[in-house]
Amino acid sequence: MISSAPSKVILFGEHAVVYGEPAIAVALNLRTTVMVERASDYSVNGYPLNDRYHRYIKNAITLLWDGDPLKITTASAVPSASGMGSSASITVATVAALLGLKGEAYEKNVALNSFEVEYFTQGSGSPIDTSTVTHGKGILVSNRMMDNFLWSVEKNKTRWYIHHLEVPPLKLVVGFSGVKGHTPEMVRKVRRFYEWSTFARDIIKEIGKITMMAIEPLENEDYVRIGELMDRNNRLLTILGVSHPLLKKMIEAARKHSYGAKITGAGGGGCMIALTDEQDEVARAIEEVGGKAYKVKISQKGYEIQS
């Protein structure tokens, strides 16, 4: 069984989504492929299945598979710990392959089980990454049911409603700092601030408001307004303490040729994104300050079962 899944970036709402605030994410055309075959022993890319190096794969097997051992082969174009959803991409591709072997790989089932695997592995988080990677295109996560509803997820008394969101063919450049972010650590850092400070709670709510304000300009292809809101979102994320010196440099460099630019994902390293009509110029500016640039497209495809 061969399956694949895209990567993703969060356009608006990272960290706030953990607390039930809305967020918007889009799938990207960088993909991960997973092939599973029945075997005498468990292995991943020729090595024994290992809890340290193959946590998401191992936990997917633990939660979803009770059959024969499997030989697993993976290939990915998604940089690890970058903010582009590498863990969600490998998780969804693995879950889709395992469910495919059982004849149960329909979209909602893949999405819900992938979230359970990622949450089990990280100990926290929201379903935004796994839902985006499963569905493809764009999604809106909110705390209430709206138009284009897909499914809902509940964890620890927080319920997220997942919706399809129409997004234009955005021209994005992702700048990877080369500094691997650690999502659980960043989530815990923000939680400490959130629980200690009413100011932090106000920031989280403001990020949620910005997300909802972005829906109309996205539908209307108002790139100037989208960029303005990205910049506002980034300032709030910086106040939450999830930026990094190189991320700041890349964002400032990219803004000269962009509608807007911001951190994407958990932060503390990882990636930033820029919305632009000048992808080559933005990519060059990012790499001049020490980042690695990816000119990306929105993926219309979520997970795929290839055989």
Q: Which of 51, 129, 222, 280 is catalytic?
A: 129
Q: Are 292 and 178 in contact (CB under 8 A)?
A: yes
Q: Is 51 exposed, middle or buried (0-12, 13-18, 19+ CB in 10 A)?
A: exposed
CB atoms closer than 10 angstroms to residue 20: 18
- The β-bridge relationship of strands 138-142 and 47-48 is unpaired
Catalytic, 129? Answer yes
Q: Which residues pair with 163 in a beta bridge?
A: 140, 149
Kindly write down the DSSP assignment for every residue of 90-102, as one continuous string: HHHHHHHHHHHHT
Spatial CA neighbour of 252 closest among 282, 207, 208, 221: 282
**Residue 95 region by backbone torsions, left for phi larger than 0, else alpha for psi between -120 and 50, else beta:** alpha
CA 114, CA 188: separation in Å to the nearest integer?
21
CA 83, CA 21: separation in Å to the nearest integer?
19
Residues with a catalytic annotation lie at 129
